[in-house]
Structures are given as C-alpha cells and as structure tokens.
C-alpha cells in the first residue's frame, strides 16, 4: 500500500479510502488508485483490515457431517447469502462427536469469525461450549438441529407435525406396528419427530407406544446390526419412520439382503432430501425439508445479528414446513 501511495504521490490514507470506495475521495483519485492497484496486482491484506476493523468478514459453518444431502443443500443456501454479503465461510465438521464440536467452537472465538451457523452433533448434551461463545457476543444461529431450551436463534422445520403425519400415514396404509428410528435421545429434532410420532399412535390407538422409538447409536456398522436385529427379530415392525437419510439407506440395503419386501412386509418413510428417492427400488416416501431455504434463512438471520448491532437474535425463531411425498415404499399393496 505504501508503494502504491508513493507511486501515485498520495498518502496511504487516500489509497485506503479509495480502495474501499469511500465518499470522501474524489472520483478521479479513486479511479487512479483502482487502476494502479489493478496494474500492480494489489489487493488489501484481509487480515490487516480484520485486525484494525475488528471484524473478519467470515462466518463459521459447523456441520455434523457433509455426506448427507440435507447438509449439502444447506451449504448451498448459506454460501449463496454469504457470497452476496461479501462474507467468507469456514467449514467445520464435528462428525457427530461432542468433543470435536467443543474444540471447533473454541476456534471460533477471538474474532476469528463474526458469527456461527451450527447444526449440533447427535452426541451433544451440554451447551456450555455454545453459551461460552454467546457470552463473547458472537451471533449464533442454529439450523435444523438446535439445542433445546437455549435463548439462541434457530431455523427449523415442523418436526413434531411431520412425525405425527408420518405415523398417521403409515397407519392409514395398514401398519399395525410402526416404529420410529432415531439417532439420538438428546437431539431436539429427533425427539420432536418422535413425540409427534407417538402422539399419533396414541391418538389412533395403534402400535406399541412403549417400544415405538428405537435409537440407533454409534458407528454406521453398529447401526446396521441394530437395525438388522430389529427387522428380523420377533415383534418386528411393519412400518419404519427413519429420522435421517442414512438410516433409510441402511434399511433398504438390509431389505435387499434379507429379502424383506418393501412395502409388502415393511413400509418406509424417511426424513430426507434425497434426490434419488423417486428412482429407488421401490421409490421412497420422503418428508422433504426445504434444505436450501433453511440454510438461506439461517444465514440471513445471522447477518441481521452481525450487521445490526444491538439487534437481539436470541429469540428469533423461524419454522419452515417440510412436505411428505408419498411414494411406493409406504403404499398399501
């Protein structure tokens, strides 16, 4: 910058202002500076600016995993608004581990990012690491997977209702023993879906409420054996609502392997944005979350919190509806 200033016989302050299109600089000088900068291949050093301005123009995106269509689509939504706002996105993966999440969030302090978008891991049962960040006045928005009971902004879908609808749908299609497949007992999103599911059973006087929710924990290998046990054991369910994409994939693989026929012996519904749902064998009934929109809304909320100082994000709550798309996997034969 010094060089540039010398080259043009102006001060560094002038260059600085011109580079950022300040209105205190004449159009003429601006043009001169910008041209010279382009010629010399000069751009502002972002970290020097960050240090001085005390803002990083960067947000953190914390995901449990990325090999799930929902999160891929959400990244698109988030990225699109970040880009428009001139912000950069740091991506972090917790791999569903609480300890990873803790260390990721600790990296977010000290001004590394101006805000955090997070979908919590299935293991997370304590929120101290999140609250710590909030105490540093870093805006935080939960999307999809929130930590319940906190005064933190969140963008979610109508989980209870969808769980309810899924159960009703299965019952109406002849299931007498439907089961909800969860991945966590602490994840609000799973619990709400499960609650809705159970509420429907109760209302319809159907199924076995005591055993209606099955939690698959651990690695995907564990998941497989747990599901296999469930589907081949006695009192095996004739309907499944899978809380996440991965579980439905496992159910399908197993049905192909064991010869359990979908939908004849087992009907399946899944919470997922899977694009291949209509071309699966059989086509899979999904409850599709508006993933892109959830990401977008969460990012927009976050930027409101970042840009409008004094704006209190804490109680913001956005709920975007998911839709159940009926396909062969849950149809009454």
Partner DNA sequence: ATGAAAGCGCTAACAC
Partner DNA sequence: GTGTTAGCGCTTTCAT
Q: Which residues bind DNA (CB under 7 A)?
A: 1-2, 9-14, 16-17, 19-20, 23-26, 28-29, 43-45, 48-49, 51-54, 110
Q: What span, in angstroms and rounded, lies between the C-alpha atoms of 45 and 35? A: 18
240 in contact with a second copy (CB under 8 A): no
CA dihedral (9, 14, 15, 18) in degrees, to 10, reads: -130
- Residue 93: name its binding partner from a second copy, DNA, none (Cβ under 5 to 8 Å by kind): a second copy
- Residue 132: name its binding partner from a second copy, DNA, none (Cβ under 5 to 8 Å by kind): a second copy
Q: Do 119 and 144 touch, CB atoms closer than 8 A?
A: yes
Interface with a second copy in residues 22-51 (CB under 8 A) = 41, 43-48, 50-51
- Residue 11: name its binding partner from a second copy, DNA, none (Cβ under 5 to 8 Å by kind): DNA
Residue whose tokens read 């589907």: 231
Task: Provide the token pair at 119.
Answer: 């979908």
For 173-217, where are the alpha helices, taking DSSP H only? 188-204
HSE (side-chain half, CA atoms, 13 Å) at 94 = 27
Rounded to the nearest whole angstrom, what is the least distance from the CB of residue 9 to a second copy in the complex? Answer: 23
HSE (side-chain half, CA atoms, 13 Å) at 289 = 33
Rounded to the nearest whole angstrom, what is the least distance from the CB of residue 7 to DNA in the complex? Answer: 12
93 in contact with a second copy (CB under 8 A): yes
Task: Provide the token pair at 220.
Answer: 């995907």
- Residue 20: name its binding partner from a second copy, DNA, none (Cβ under 5 to 8 Å by kind): DNA
Q: Contact with a second copy (CB under 8 A): which of 29, 72, 134, 177?
A: 72
Bridge-based pairing of strands 323-325 and 285-288 is antiparallel
Interface with a second copy in residues 262-321 (CB under 8 A) = 274-276, 278-283
Rounded to the nearest whole angstrom, what is the least distance from the CB of residue 300 to a second copy in the complex? Answer: 18
Rounded to the nearest whole angstrom, what is the least distance from the CB of residue 47 to DNA in the complex? Answer: 8
84 in contact with a second copy (CB under 8 A): no
73 in contact with a second copy (CB under 8 A): yes
Q: Do 309 and 54 touch, CB atoms closer than 8 A?
A: no
CB nearer DNA, residue 73 or residue 138: 138
Residue whose tokens read 């995106």: 61
CB nearer DNA, residue 37 or residue 216: 37
Rounded to the nearest whole angstrom, what is the least distance from the CB of residue 13 to DNA in the complex? Answer: 3
91 in contact with a second copy (CB under 8 A): yes
Other CB atoms within 10 A of residue 305 CB: 22
- Bridge partners of 48, per DSSP, are none
Size of the site for a second copy (CB under 8 A): 48
Burial track 74-90 (b if 16+ CB lie within 10 A, e otherwise): bbebbbebbeeeebebb
**Interface mask toward a second copy for 97-136; x: CB under 8 A:** ---------xx-xxxx-------------------x---x
- Residue 281: name its binding partner from DNA, a second copy, none (Cβ under 5 to 8 Å by kind): a second copy
How far is residue 49 from each of residues 42, 44, 55, 265, measured CA to CA in Å? 14, 8, 8, 63
Q: What span, in angstroms and rounded, lies between the C-alpha atoms of 295 and 301? A: 10
DSSP, collapsed to helix, strand or coil, labels residue 225 as: helix
Q: Which residues bind a second copy (CB under 8 A)?
A: 41, 43-48, 50-51, 56, 58, 61, 65-67, 69, 72-73, 75-76, 79, 88-93, 106-107, 109-112, 132, 136, 249, 252-253, 256, 274-276, 278-283
């Amino acid at each position: 910058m010094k060089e540039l200033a010398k080259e043009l016989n102006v001060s560094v302050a002038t260059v600085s202002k011109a580079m950022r299109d300040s209105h205190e600089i004449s159009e003429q000088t601006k043009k001169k500076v910008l041209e010279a900068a382009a010629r010399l291949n000069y751009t502002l050093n972002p970290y020097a600016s960050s240090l001085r301005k005390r803002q990083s123009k960067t947000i953190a995106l914390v995901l449990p995993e990325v090999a799930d269509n929902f999160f891929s689509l959400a990244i698109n939504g988030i990225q699109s608004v970040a880009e428009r706002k001139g912000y950069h996105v740091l991506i972090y993966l917790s791999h569903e581990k609480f300890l990873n999440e803790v260390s990721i969030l600790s990296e977010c302090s000290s001004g590394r990012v101006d805000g955090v978008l997070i979908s919590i891991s299935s293991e997370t049962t304590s929120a101290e690491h999140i609250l710590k960040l909030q105490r540093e006045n870093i805006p935080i928005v939960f999307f999809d997977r929130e930590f319940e009971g906190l005064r933190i902004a969140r963008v979610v879908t109508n989980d209870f209702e969808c769980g309810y609808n899924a159960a009703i749908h299965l019952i109406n299609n002849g299931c007498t023993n439907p089961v909800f497949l969860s991945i966590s007992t602490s994840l609000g999103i799973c619990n709400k879906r499960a609650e809705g599911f159970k509420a429907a059973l109760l209302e319809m006087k159907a199924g076995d409420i005591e055993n209606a929710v099955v939690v698959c924990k651990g690695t995907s290998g564990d998941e497989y054996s747990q599901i296999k046990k469930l589907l081949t054991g006695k009192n095996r369910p004739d309907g499944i609502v899978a809380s996440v994409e991965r579980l439905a994939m496992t159910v399908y693989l197993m049905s192909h392997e064991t010869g359990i026929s979908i939908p004849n012996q087992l009907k399946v519904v899944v919470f997922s944005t899977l694009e291949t749902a209509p071309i699966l064998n059989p086509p899979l009934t999904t409850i599709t979350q508006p993933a892109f929109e959830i990401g977008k809304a969460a990012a927009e909320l976050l930027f409101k919190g970042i840009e409008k100082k004094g704006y209190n994000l804490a109680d913001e709550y956005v709920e975007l509806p998911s839709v159940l798309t009926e396909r062969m996997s849950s149809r009454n034969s």
